[in-house]
Amino acid sequence: MNRLVNKGAGTSEFCLNDSLELAGRMQADRPLSILTLDDDRLDRLRLIRTCKKAGLQCEVDEAASLGELRTSLDSTCYDVIFIDHKLGLDNGIDALRIILAHEEQVNAIPIMVTSVTAHSIAVEAMRIGCADYLVKEELTVSALAKSITSAIERRVVFAEIAGARALERELKGIVTRFLSTCGPEMRAILSNTIKTLRGLKAMNRNSDQIDPAVLSDFTLLERGCFDLTSFVDDLESVVHRLR
C-alpha cells in the first residue's frame, strides 16, 4: 500500500466551488483520506494526478487487489474510495460489497470507475450503494471534482435527514410517554379545577362574597386550565400525525 500526500495545488485547472469548500469545513481542516483501488499502476497514478490538479487537500492510499483493499480498510478510515471495476480475477462489485460491509468505513464515499462500455456495471453499483461513478476514458479534473463534491453534498443531506428523523423519533417517544403517564391524570385535574372554579363563581353571583381580585385570579386560572387542556390535545394530534 502506497500513500501520497497532496497539500493542494498552487494553481488548478479547475477552481473548486462552494461545495468543496463545504467539504473542507466538514473535514475540520484535515485532508481528505482517499483510497484508489485499481490493479493498473498507471491508472492509479493518473487518478492521483487528477486529484492533485483539482487542488484537493488529500492523502491518497493505493491498493491493487481485494487483499490489499482489506488491509487498507482495516488500518484507515477513508472519506472517499475509488473502485476500478476490472481487478484481474476479481471485480469492483465485490470490492464495493466489502467496503459497505466494513464497520469502520460507514462514512466512506465509494465511487466506481468503469470503462465507457460498462454503464450497466455502474447502474448495478449505484443500486448496491455506490455514491457515484466515473468513466475512466473520460476522467477529467472537472468530472472528478464534480463527482466528489456531489457525493459529499448528498452525504450531508442524508445525514441531516437521518438526524431529523432520529430527533422526530425521540420527541415522539417523549411526548408519547408523557401522554400515557401524566396525560390522563392532568386531564382529570384540569377538568376538576375548571368545575370547581365555575362552581365558586356561580355561588358568588348569589352571595357576592369573593373578593374581586380573587375572582379575577379565578378567571385567569380557568383560562390557564383551558390552555393546558388544548396543549395536551395538540400533543396527541402531533403524535397521531407522526404514526
The pLDDT tens digits of the residues spanning 154-179 come to: 777 766 776 777 777 888 888 888 88
Residues 18-32: pLDDT tens digits?
Answer: 444 445 544 456 788
* Per-residue pLDDT at 10 exceeds 60: no
As a whole number, mean pLDDT of residues 71-100 equals 91
How would you write 11-25 as a 3-class SS string? Answer: CCCCCCCHHHHHHHH
- Distance between CA atoms of residues 122 and 1, nearest Å: 26
- The three grid cell numbers given for residue 73, joined into one nine-digit string: 480498510
Q: 3-12, 14-23, 168-177, 192-201 — which is least confidently predicted?
A: 14-23
* Per-residue pLDDT at 35 exceeds 90: yes
What per-residue confidence (pLDDT) applies to 210?
83
Give me the chain's average pLDDT, please. 81
Beta-bridge partners for 112: 83, 133
As a whole number, mean pLDDT of residues 67-89 equals 92
- Distance between CA atoms of residues 168 and 219, nearest Å: 37
Among candidate residues 46, 20, 15, the one with its CA nearest the CA of residue 32: 20
In the structure, what pLDDT confidence band is assigned to residue 229 with cuts at 50, 70 and 90? confident
| First and final C-alpha spacing in the chain | 50
153: CB partners within 8 A, 6+ apart: 19, 22
Q: pTM of the full predicted structure?
A: 0.60
Q: Are 79 and 27 in contact (CB under 8 A)?
A: yes
